[in-house]
Amino acid sequence: MLNRRHLLAGATGAAALSFPLFAFGQAQATDKRLLVIILRGGMDGLSAMPPVGDGAYASLRGRLAIARTGADAALPLDDTFSLHKNLAKMHALYRAGELLPIHACATAYRERSHFDAQNVLETGAPGPFARGEGWLNKALGALPQSRPEMGMALSAQAPLILRGPAAVATWSPSTLPDVESDTIERLMALYEARDPALAQALDSAISANAIAMDAGAGDMRAGPRTITPIAQTAARFLKNDNGPIAAVLDMGGWDTHANQGLEQGPLARALTALDDGVDAFKTEMGPAWANTVVIIATEFGRTAAPNGANGTDHGTGAAAFLAGGAVRGGRVLADWPGLTPGSLHEGRDLRPTTDLRAMFKGVLADHLSVSNAALERDAFPESASVRAAQGLLRA
């Protein structure tokens, strides 16, 4: 493997600037770990976490109402809320006090475009396309740089949440042939001489491959519906002494405009994949799970009532989850607005009463010790009125 310091000493411009070289090895290592799972497409929170105890739920949801009793009944959380039966492993986490379900939450965004909504979810800004940097990148950049890359994307490209000035790693499984290390070294020299951006990317890839190989990442070819192998690999990176402290993985398949199903169907399958992925991640983390928080969030919820195609359209208030040994779970966090016609947002969507930024800030502050100043200034601009949620984590 190539020597990072040697390579960086020769790099110029952007590459050198974005690596705070002086800090390597000096910063206090933290044992806290964070995984963010972004559910892209808008998860239907009223199916994932149905408020079966709300008197208006069954009639409003009609054909898409989840049963309260029977073989396909939802798994109870409290008097009001349940989990979809395909989230059984997450329900077990709840019973162990390691899952904190959140309902009726949203970013600052109130329109219904996926791309704008994901942009706001990931930038932490009050509106879409206000900036090109992600809140996790900015928060990690404000921490002591205890390792070469504090953040990592389990995808070929860093999602917006991880883009920004702080160096982040990316890794995804390969189906292509190996390249001799001698060829890589020669290309590295060429990139250093001619193209610093390529040099920086290649250097980061070399480090990530080394960790994945050390950890014995085997056959990663996963079916379209599973995130289990990639979640296990995320755990391997997070456990590595020189690996990232925060990782992000994406999961698509939530944009259920038509025939989304109830106990079975595309949505139910996606929930199973999420449930299995979280469970596999926990197992792979081993003892480190105790110091871990998993944030599971989506860009918006879906319409409260089904549409004419047995699906749901883009909505507003959503469900989210915090999981992990560090989470003070076993309770539901929701200022429930209700589902009567008058209580719906614009007469059609679950009204958001909890700002997701307050959740994210609470995790960053209490779990990763990101300073208040950095949260306000860097991670979530113009969010002073949105205070970090207290008490999300175990004391």
Partner 1 sequence: MQRLSVEEDFVENFRARVTRAVAARVEAALTSPTPVHERLVHFWSNHFTVSAAKPGAVALPPSFEKEAIRPHVGGRFADMLLASTKHPGMIVYLDNWLSVGPNSRVGQNPNRGRRLPGGGRPSGINENLAREVLELQTLGVNGGYTQADVQALAAIITGWTYERPRLRDLVADNLATRTGGQLFEFDADAHEPGPKTLLSRTYAQTGVAQGEAALGDLARHASTARFIATKLCRHYIADDPPPAAVARVEHAFRDNDGDLREAMEALVDSPEAWQTPFAKFKRPEEYAISVLRSANVRDLPLGAGIAALAAMGQRPYSAPGPDGWADTADAWLTADLVFKRIEFAQAYAERIARADVDPVQLGQACLGGLMSDETETAIRRAESPVQGFALLFGAPEMQRR
Residues that bind partner 1 (CB under 8 A): 40, 63, 111-116, 128-129, 132, 153, 155-158, 163, 169-172, 174-180, 182-184, 186-187, 189-191, 193-195, 197-198, 201-206, 208-209, 252, 257-259, 261, 265-266, 307-310, 313-314
DSSP state of 19: S
Residues 294, 324: contact at Cβ < 8 Å? yes
Residue 343 beta carbon to partner 1: minimum distance, rounded to whole angstroms: 20
Q: How far is the CB of 129 from partner 1 (least distance, A)?
A: 7
Distance CA 217, CA 276 (A): 18
- For residues 291 and 34, the answer to whether their CB atoms sit within 8 Å is no
CB contact at 8 A, 158 and 168: yes
158/296 with CB nearer partner 1: 158
Q: Is 51 or 128 the residue whose CB approaches partner 1 more closely?
A: 128
What's the token pair of residue 242? Answer: 């020189």
Shortest CB 296 distance to partner 1, Å: 19
As to burial, measured by CB atoms within 10 angstroms (0-12 exposed, 13-18 middle, 19+ buried), residue 287 is: exposed
Residue 122 CB, shortest distance to partner 1, in Å, is 13
| Of residues 40 and 351, the one with the C-beta less far from partner 1 | 40
Instruction: Please report how close the Cβ of residue 265 comes to partner 1 at its closest, in angstroms.
Output: 7
Query: Among candidates 253, 339, 261, which has minimal Cα distance to 304?
Result: 339
The closest alpha carbon to 322, from 346, 345, 293, belongs to: 293
- Which residue, 72 or 116, has its beta carbon nearer to partner 1? 116
Of the chain, the end-to-end C-alpha distance in Å amounts to 41
Of 187 and 215, CB closest to partner 1: 187
Q: Choose between 82 and 86: whose C-beta lies nearer to partner 1.
A: 86
Q: What size, in residues, is the chain?
A: 395
Provide the minimum distance between the beta carbon of 113 and partner 1 in the complex, in angstroms, as a whole number: 6
Q: Residue 294: helix, strand or coil by DSSP? A: strand
Question: Are 235 and 152 in contact, with CB atoms under 8 Å apart?
Answer: no
